[in-house]
Structure 1
Amino acid sequence: MEPRSRDKRKPSGAAVLQLELTEAIVDIALDELAAKGFGRFSMEAVAKRAGVGKSALYRRWPSKSALAVAAVSQLSVPLAEAPDTGSLRGDLQAMVASVLSWLNDPRFGRILPDMVAEALRSEELADALTTNLGDPRRERGEALIDRAVSRGELPQDVDRELMLDLLAAPIFWRLTVRRRPVGQDFLDSHVDLLIRALGVPQQTPPR
């Protein structure tokens, strides 16, 4: 008896969303969040624009908060990647450039302040943002610190939490609160300030 061939049919209905459709839905969710804010964001509107039934979304994301956080995380976390440049200064320069790219995203620049405000009123949303966005991004910053410690550029007992806060906070404050541009001169000065604040010995340039 010949072995039965495997059933190669794709799952029917909306039980499993295809990758392309999932990416399209995430993209639509980001558009909706940027245009309307979290308060007016709805699963119905996303489903309508995506051309799928609302139940298809709820099978993948149990609530609008879950969809919003998933969409924001999918956009944001990859932007936290920073290459190993071989030096603390180089790594910091790459990281602050990455933070700027993240905050300068035309959609995310509008979404983040709104989501932060909503998180102040919702512990559930705040926890979800921390778990799915904040913690993964900080893990990438931790990798930068680990490399610097292993190279002897930072002490073992460096205040990691403070360092990670200092990496992004001034850029966020200038862009979002003060609404001022951030150019290369600002980033260079920011890295210089970080180096001094961390007490990293300055190398005397050769004469």
Structure 2
Amino acid sequence: MTERKPAAGRPAESDENRPGASRAPGRPRSERAEKAILDATVDLLAEESGVDGVSMEAVAARAGVAKTTIYRRWPNKEALIVGALGSLKGPLPELPGTGLRDDLLTLARHMSVERGFKASRCFWNVVGGAEKYPELYARYKQDVITPRREVYREVLRRGIERGEARADLDLDVAVAMLVGAFAYHKPPDPLPDGFADHVVDTVLRGISAD
């Protein structure tokens, strides 16, 4: 599935350095181009064709940029999709550090907010295509999913150290219960009111040291 860069030779003139192009005020041109590329990739990935519908040509056309502009940032389609998926997530919130429940609630509530229809469609299209695109899914898991789940694992470790969670707690199982509850609701199903709090409190009843 990996796409190769265009053949060597005179590169196509990019939208970023076209002679005489005026520079609009506000966001620098390179940042605007990067955002347009990522947004276009997300839009294509969320559509019915999913991963199959994403190509450097389609993204360039949707974003209104030259393919060379994309290749300067991402070497292939796989890297571009992972970058776009990462941009959907954004940084995790700062944790209060006042206790296991408070930290887990902060993470779970954030997950509820960032779980939009488009983001969910992208996630399921990539997961659903894991058999056809195993390298893409492996990279998405390594670069996007695993680092975020490690934050949950660290929160649970601190909970064990403080005596708030059972010492024999299986961290992987606990994280799967917390995160998997959100994946259970596929788009466009909305989350019930207070869902994040219910998930955290239900899991805590099973892993609490009390």
How far apart are the structure 1 equivalents of 2:197 and 2:88? 26
How far apart are the structure 2 equivalents of 1:20 and 1:180? 32
* TM-aligned CA deviation for residue 180 of structure 1: 4.6
Aligned residue runs from structure 1 range 27-46, under 5 A: 27-35=39-47, 36-46=49-59
Aligned residue runs from structure 1 range 1-207, under 5 A: 13=17, 18-35=30-47, 36-78=49-91, 80-81=92-93, 83-103=95-115, 105-173=116-184, 175-176=185-186, 180-201=189-210
**Structure 1, residues 9-67: CA drift from partner, whole Å, max 9, x if none?**
xxx859xx823321221122112212352111121121123332212212321221211
Gaps of 5+ in 1: 1-11, 202-207
How far apart are the structure 2 equivalents of 1:157 and 1:84? 25
* TM-aligned CA deviation for residue 140 of structure 1: 1.9
Cα RMSD between the aligned structures?
2.4
Larger radius of gyration: 1
Gaps of 5+ in 2: 1-15, 19-28
How far apart are the structure 1 equivalents of 2:138 and 2:162? 34
**Structure 1, residues 145-169: CA drift from partner, whole Å, max 9, x if none?**
2332343312454211111111111
* TM-aligned CA deviation for residue 133 of structure 1: 1.1
How far apart are the structure 2 equivalents of 1:20 and 1:150? 45
Q: For residue 7 of structure 1, what is the aligned residue in structure 2?
A: none
How far apart are the structure 2 equivalents of 1:186 and 1:54? 42
The alignment-based identity, stated in percent, is 30
Higher helix share: 1
How far apart are the structure 2 equivalents of 1:130 and 1:124? 10
* TM-aligned CA deviation for residue 129 of structure 1: 1.0
Structure 1 residues 52 and 171: CA distance shift in structure 2, 3 A:
closer
- The letter of the residue matching 2:71 is Y
TM-score, normalised to structure 2's length?
0.76
Structure 1 residues 106 and 45: CA distance shift in structure 2, 3 A:
same
TM-score, normalised to structure 1's length?
0.77
CA contact 2:86–2:144 (8 Å) conserved in 1: yes
* TM-aligned CA deviation for residue 85 of structure 1: 4.6
How far apart are the structure 1 equivalents of 2:62 and 2:193? 39
CA contact 1:81–1:140 (8 Å) conserved in 2: no
